[in-house]
Structure 1
Amino acid sequence: MTAASFFRLLCLAAIWGGSFLFMRVAANTFGPAYLIEFRVAFAAISLLSIALYLKKKLAFTKHIKHFFIIGLFNSAVPFLLFAYAAQTLNASTLAILNSTAPIWGALIGFVWYRSPLTAKAILGMVVGISGVAVLVGLDSSTIGKETIFPIGASLMASFSYGIATNYTKNAPQVPAFDNAHGSMWAAVIWVLPLLPFLPMRADPSSFEWSSVVALGVVCTGLAYLLYFRLVSDIGPASALTVTFLVPVFGILWGYLILDEPIGFNTIIGTILVLSGTMLVTGFSPAAMLAKRKANAA
């Protein structure tokens, strides 16, 4: 991995970690529906601007069913669930629960495609679930019974990402940029009917508006571009390492900007969840480093 790719990886992790911070800031004022409608709309407009600049034409009607499926399971549903959870949970907890997506993806793949689960993957699921249990149960001062539904919503959001990941394995071959662009417009349409039923709670402040713009333009639009560049430069397996860095930045931003406490349960739960995810995905920092050294030689 070149220095430039490593810098992009850190930037992407910092940006996606920041998305939970911005949701936490704006969720209670905007409410889940308006927050996410603005998020995906700003992201779609940003990607449209880039597409026009690069002269990339989006064949939306040609792949409309595909875009609507991806837009539902990879954007609309998980974004809404995380926005609901952000009204109660702190940014660090949201980021940690988000990192369970690969675990759900492996479990769904086993049920959906009968993909075999190794003993290591099963152990990883147990370890990851134990990490979630630690987050929920060991620090009653920061996580109580009133957060059970938000935690469940966050896990279902990660479950939705697992569905999207497995769907794309046999999905139509669409360029990565078009997938991001088309799915954002589909998500805009998915969320739109919810607006009359889930109104905004108050008039947003300028800081809250800034958070929503950053959430859409930076944490969604720009983040997609960084991610696809990483996949192109270092491959999907190496790009997956961002999953393990996002919680670190989610905890860091929550502590520095929102003054969120870092409890014992947060540290132990993070270690368990990330360890379980590494076991499920088969990711090994030592093996990856040895492979890079071999390629360099």
Structure 2
Amino acid sequence: MSTQAEQATSEQATLASEIALLLLLSLIWGSSFTLIKVAIPSIPPFTMVAARVTLAAGLLLLIATAQGHALPRQGSVWAAFLVQGVLQSALPFTLISWGEAHITSGLAGVLNATPPMFVLAIALMTGRGRQATSGRTIIGVGLGLAGVAVTVGIDALSGIGTAAPLAQAAVLGASLCYALAPLWGQRFKKLPAIVTAAGAMSCAAILMLPAAAILERPWMLAPPPAQAIAAVVALAMICTALAMVIYFRLIRTIGPLGTTSGGYLRAGFAVMLGTTLLGESFAWSILAGMALILTGVITVTLPPPARHDQKTAGLIVVTFKA
């Protein structure tokens, strides 16, 4: 009995540590929306993302080497790293950076809280994990999507050709990338998190450096102010390098849906930081939309009533196998 009690205590401690890491990751990524808003007026999106992923890749490679890890040599692994780099970094970072040139960081954070909804939608459409879904999870998906609609606003439909609705769509596109990324990332479970992060980020850098050079010619731009440079460095070192190591660990421990469920916390942090640090307005429609999104995500991630033995306390509702 004592052994079982010790095992239960150990499992609870492990779960608590993973939840703490999820909270930390949500705070880190919530702050990224504020940092992007600081940098985007003087550093265009492709250049910002190229600098962000290149600095992060360099740091991750140094850490992996210092820890004695060797990078894989198989071409198939690097091809998988390339897909991961596109889904997790290159494409969503660019979409969010461009989007924040036209919408507030708080709104971007709320719209980017939707990956859990996309994960559930993928499960329902593909049948992968459908046996673990329920009417309540479907309701949760509906509430989350309704929250997105309220946040974007009906008025946006009348100006679909203007910048703001397109920016909102770009951030939602980034959310879809963030939903697909952990599903793809499960194939790296046997690799150390630092190796996966370094490989994926290196591939993202290889893609973004020529894209920035061709599309934006950063050497022709006026020198950015110190605060913009500091924001990009923080994005690279904290919101990318550190966050990626935590992210790939959480994919192994709590799964794709559990990892993406931190999106609602990320939205809260993004809105809070945007209003307190950047003086952004906080419309009631955004508040109502965020409330619906949070309700939907919580509904999705609560454990099913008939499965109280679920160790992850509802953080994993759908399990995917790559």
TM over 0.5: yes
Which of the residues 128, 131, 145 maps onto 1:129?
A: 145
Q: Which runs of 5+ in 2 are unaligned?
A: 1-11, 314-322
Between 194-203 and 92-101, the greater mean CA deviation after superposition? 194-203
Equivalence for 2:281:
261
Between 20-29 and 160-169, the greater mean CA deviation after superposition? 160-169
User: Are the equivalent residues in 2 in contact too, given 1:139–1:265 (CA < 8 A)?
Assistant: no
Q: Which runs of 5+ in 1 are unaligned?
A: none
Equivalence for 2:174:
157
Normalised by the length of structure 1, the TM-score is: 0.84
Equivalence for 1:244:
264
Which of the residues 185, 189, 196 maps onto 1:179?
A: 196
Larger radius of gyration: 2
Distance 1:281 1:6 in 2: 13
Between 62-71 and 236-245, the greater mean CA deviation after superposition? 236-245
Return closer, same or farther for 1:68/1:112 CA change in 2, 3 Å cut-off: farther
Alignment of 1:11-50 (within 5 A): 11-50=24-63
Distance 1:239 1:46 in 2: 23
Return closer, same or farther for 1:105/1:241 CA change in 2, 3 Å cut-off: closer
| Distance apart, 1:171 and its partner CA | 6.6
Identity of aligned residues (%): 30
Report 1 or 2 for greater relative contact order, CA contacts < 8 Å, sequence distance ≥ 6: 1
| Distance apart, 1:82 and its partner CA | 0.7
User: Are the equivalent residues in 2 in contact too, given 1:85–1:154 (CA < 8 A)?
Assistant: yes
| Distance apart, 1:259 and its partner CA | 0.8
AA aligned to 1:14 is L
1:203 pairs with 2:223: yes
Distance 2:69 2:123 in 1: 33
Return closer, same or farther for 1:222/1:134 CA change in 2, 3 Å cut-off: same
| Distance apart, 1:75 and its partner CA | 1.2
| Distance apart, 1:18 and its partner CA | 0.6
Return closer, same or farther for 1:199/1:248 CA change in 2, 3 Å cut-off: same
| Distance apart, 1:289 and its partner CA | 12
User: Are the equivalent residues in 2 in contact too, given 1:105–1:161 (CA < 8 A)?
Assistant: no
Deviations 1:49-92 (A, max 9, x none): 21122111111544111101111111111111111101111111
Deviations 1:229-261 (A, max 9, x none): 5667x7447655533321111111111111112
Equivalence for 2:67:
54
User: Are the equivalent residues in 2 in contact too, given 1:101–1:159 (CA < 8 A)?
Assistant: yes
Equivalence for 1:74:
88
Normalised by the length of structure 2, the TM-score is: 0.78
| Distance apart, 1:176 and its partner CA | 2.6
Return closer, same or farther for 1:108/1:5 CA change in 2, 3 Å cut-off: closer
Deviations 1:89-142 (A, max 9, x none): 1111111111101111222233345542532232222211111111111798xx
User: Are the equivalent residues in 2 in contact too, given 1:33–1:199 (CA < 8 A)?
Assistant: no
Between 250-259 and 166-175, the greater mean CA deviation after superposition? 166-175
Return closer, same or farther for 1:60/1:183 CA change in 2, 3 Å cut-off: farther
Match of 1:28, SS? coil
